[in-house]
Structure 1
């Protein structure tokens, strides 16, 4: 069994990678930066690749190379955790940077979908489990989050369509993990209320201790990923699982 984790160098992604590695599952980590602490703890089980998933040319070059195929070769089960994501641009359309919208769609949608296809193509004969880290924002619309809501909804529809393909060796789930105390949450709380009217809700969640830790969430998420039932619900919420 081997895993691929995007955005593995910080936040929830780092916690997921650490949880997998701690269970003896080697991880190919894809991120813009490095995770020296993880590399020091798991020098033989972590392979790190510096890759900016917002750069279509870099992503295409990586997919055309042999790193991913070499990583999954010979594995009886391949796990792909599409964790990397961005919340920006935030605000009504008139205040959104179009270039930021392009980057968000590349990171939040194009990269997960391309990596899912590449991982399946490279691992013929193995069981493939694909987990998209989605959000409640993909299931409900929020003011100021039109791009974020749309990109997370895209992951939900992708997982549902993959299930309809009927390949029993490919299981895919778009999973909302709940509200987690990460850098993204700090970004949300720092956003002017004029751009994100629901900001106060997240400020209060932090103040009242309502945010889950990345480590606790990662433990539950990996349990879910490895459970026999994984993929039976293409769209799910970790809090209700």
Structure 2
């Protein structure tokens, strides 16, 4: 039995990945702030990933629903993320900065820690797939918090991958930029003022020209990425290579 754990699984790319994995026959553990109805092979957990204690408790609960002896592979997809605050470094709200770093980098690190500890005795193949962004690999004015968080997520992926080389049953760590997906995050970006985000017209044009990728298409590409033998431990990947 393949088990998939996805954060931010109630909407957008997270929901699309949840459904794609279910269609493939995997057992999915979906984490989100909003309630998701459970179904066959779908376990749901209502949690805010920025709440450290609640996140830890959720992973303890998740692993009570996984039978180690029947688990052939287990994957953690750190998908939850936020783009706010959008604005220059001198105008961003301090509390929004703190929340951005918590959701975009601290929460994936904590989720990964719990995933590794809870599954350390498993003989099953283990993978951590971090949903990064091109913003983590190229600075963009107005996104200092978002770019920093995603760059940190990439570095965490690389560092954790190196650490796995010294373990008896190493987990595979991957980081992927998902491209420009038609989600609510894109809506938030388009609604930003030009004073706060100088590139807003570019993102509005993506929508007008039909350049945004459907989340379901990107989700199917994620499945192909995970099956790619060249997607080896520590790789920084671009989903456009799998579309």
| Deviation string, structure 1 residues 191-230 (Cα, Å, up to 9, x no partner) | 0011010111111111111000000000001211233333
Matched, 1:68 2:62: yes
Matched, 1:104 2:100: yes
Matched, 1:155 2:149: no
Q: How does 1:222-233 map to 2 (within 5 A)?
A: 222-232=223-233
- Match in the other structure for 2:207: 206
Deviates more, 1:193-202 or 1:160-169: 160-169
Deviates more, 1:208-217 or 1:220-229: 220-229
**What secondary structure is seen at the aligned counterpart in 1 of 2:90?**
helix
Task: Find 1:133's aligned residue among 113, 120, 131.
Answer: 131
- Match in the other structure for 1:164: 162
Task: Find 1:120's aligned residue among 113, 116, 131.
Answer: 116
Cα distance in 1 for partners of 2:67, 2:148 equals: 34
Q: CA deviation at 1:17?
A: 0.3
Q: CA deviation at 1:233?
A: 5.2
RMSD: 1.5
Structure 1: gaps spanning 5 or more residues: none
Deviates more, 1:157-166 or 1:192-201: 157-166
Structure 2: gaps spanning 5 or more residues: none
| Deviation string, structure 1 residues 37-93 (Cα, Å, up to 9, x no partner) | xx4xxx121111000112234324435xx3132234412211111110000011012
Q: Check whether the contact 1:72–1:122 (CA below 8 A) recurs between aligned residues.
A: no
Matched, 1:176 2:177: yes
- Match in the other structure for 1:79: 75
Q: Check whether the contact 2:3–2:75 (CA below 8 A) recurs between aligned residues.
A: yes
- Match in the other structure for 1:22: 23
- Residue correspondences, number: 234
**What secondary structure is seen at the aligned counterpart in 2 of 1:160?**
helix
Cα distance in 2 for partners of 1:77, 1:121 equals: 15
Cα distance in 1 for partners of 2:33, 2:188 equals: 18
Q: Check whether the contact 1:177–1:238 (CA below 8 A) recurs between aligned residues.
A: yes
Matched, 1:91 2:87: yes
Q: Check whether the contact 2:55–2:111 (CA below 8 A) recurs between aligned residues.
A: no
Q: CA deviation at 1:103?
A: 1.1
